[in-house]
Amino acid sequence: MSPASPLLIRPARRGDLRDIISLFADDPLGGHGDTLAPDAFPAYLAAFERIASTPTEALYVAEEAGEVVGTFQTTLTTSLTGRGRTTMILEAVQVRADRRGRQIGEAMVREAERLALAAGAATLKLTSNMAREGAHRFYERLGFDRSHYGFKRTLK
């Protein structure tokens, strides 16, 4: 990042949606089937509106020189375990391919940590695709521990 173009991390706006989708569609390991095809846009828009209207969820972008160069999503959840502990879940951390290695991902994770603390969360947790060994090293460098196995089941 140059001094002339500082990184800005801010809540995502509806107008950012195509740039955010582009980040996901450009991810060869994601395996989520994300696409910029026009017929898919209504589903992304509905998801964006749902996230935006849910007080415990938020979508953010990292912007540099007016361009979206990264994104992440947070969700707050409270459980009876841990005496009612609140946890922030960090999802969909993505940096534009041509901007990787410039500490944008680190800045986004640090912002998520700040947001978690401000919300009273005791834990910040995330999952990462098992094939993303570089991401695992990245998260460990930032102080995350490998603590659980993750499981998922596709429902439809």
pLDDT tops 70 at residue 2 = no
CA-CA distance, 2 to 96, in Å (whole number)? 17
- Within a domain: residue 134? yes
Q: How many domains does the chain have?
A: 1
| Coil, strand or helix at 134 | helix
CATH number at residue 96: 3.40.630.30
Gap between the Cα atoms of 55 and 133, Å rounded: 33
pTM of the model: 0.90
pLDDT of 72-123, one tens digit each?
999 999 999 889 899 999 999 999 989 988 999 999 999 999 999 999 999 9
Instruction: Tell me, yes or no, whether 91 lies in a domain.
Output: yes
Domain that holds residue 20: 7-141
Band of residue 155 on the pLDDT scale cut at 50, 70, 90: very high
